[in-house]
């Protein structure tokens, strides 16, 4: 079973106390649902980016709230845009990913200025600066740029020059 819109998703789940007591496990685990045991490379990289976000934040579930907030902001913007410009509805990915999308981003910005889905999409596209940032962090350490990006609701307009989706 996939997520909303039949999309893969990743969730950070806190191990409940009774299970922690019984197993000796504690903390948070990240669960990826790629919809298949053999996902394509981009899907795997994208969902692994969310695992990385969770493991490099003081709040391992912040990436989930950020993803929902950004996708909701994009939907709201797109719906409002359609009221003033009905031609907006002609985009084949309206209203989820057109004209704005939580996944759209403009390359060249600082890592901390990208939100959850933008960071993951950057990695899907092998953006050198974002890839270097992620690779340069020690496992399970706090990354303040990650926290900053996941603390802001950010979307981009796919019609703007230089924006990648």
Residue-level pLDDT, tens digit, the chain, 165 residues: 666 667 899 999 998 888 878 888 778 999 999 999 999 999 999 999 999 999 999 999 999 999 999 999 999 999 999 999 999 898 889 999 999 999 999 999 999 999 999 999 999 999 999 999 999 999 889 999 999 999 999 999 999 999 999
pLDDT of residue 97: 94
- Confirm if 150 and 143 have CB atoms less than 8 A apart: no
With a CB cutoff of 8 Å and minimum separation 6, the contacts of 114 are 105, 122, 130, 149, 154
pLDDT of residue 31: 94
Helices (H), 24-136: 41-55, 62-84, 116-124, 128-135
Nearest to 103 by CA among 134, 86, 124: 124
pLDDT of residue 1: 60
- Tell me what percent of the chain is helix, strand and coil, each rounded to the nearest 5: 50, 10, 40
- Confirm if 104 and 155 have CB atoms less than 8 A apart: yes
pLDDT of residue 4: 63
pLDDT of residue 25: 77
pLDDT of residue 134: 96
């Amino acid at each position: 079973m996939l997520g909303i819109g039949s999309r893969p998703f990743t969730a950070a789940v806190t191990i409940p106390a009774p299970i922690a007591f019984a197993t000796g496990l504690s903390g948070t685990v990240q669960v990826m649902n790629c919809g298949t045991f053999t996902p394509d490379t981009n899907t795997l990289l994208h969902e692994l980016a969310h695992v990385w976000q969770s493991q490099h934040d003081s709040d391992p579930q912040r990436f989930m709230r950020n993803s929902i907030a950004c996708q909701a902001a994009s939907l709201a913007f797109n719906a409002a845009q359609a009221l003033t410009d009905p031609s907006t509805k002609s985009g084949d990915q309206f209203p989820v990913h057109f004209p704005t999308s939580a996944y759209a981003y403009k390359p060249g910005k600082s890592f901390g200025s990208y939100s959850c889905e933008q960071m993951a999409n950057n990695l899907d596209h092998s953006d050198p600066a974002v890839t270097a940032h992620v690779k340069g962090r020690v496992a399970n350490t706090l990354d303040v740029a990650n926290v900053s990006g996941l603390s802001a609701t950010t979307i981009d307009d796919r019609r703007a020059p230089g924006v990648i989706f």
